[in-house]
Amino acid sequence: MQVFHSPDHALHAPLHEFEGGRLIPAYESPKRIDAILAALKDAGFPTPAAPAHFGHEPLLRVHGAAFLDFLKTAFPRWRERHGEGRPEAFPSQFPARTLRAMQPDEIEALLGYYTFDMATPILEGTWPAAISAANAALSGAQALHRGANSAFALARPPGHHAAGDLYGGYCFLNNTAIAAQWLTDLGRRVAILDVDCHHGNGTQTIFYGRGDVLTISIHGDPRTTYPFYLGYADERGEGAGDGANLNLPLPAGSTWDAFSVALETAVARVRAFGADTLVVALGVDNYRHDPVSTLALDDADYSRMGATIGALNLPTLFVMEGGYAIPQVGALTARVLSSFLGR
Q: Which residues are catalytic?
A: 161
Measure Cα distances from 282 to 148, 208, 310 in Å: 19, 20, 13
Beta bridge partners of 22: 19
Phi and psi based region of residue 325 (left: phi greater than 0; alpha: psi -120 to 50; beta: remaining): beta
CA distance 166 to 164: 6
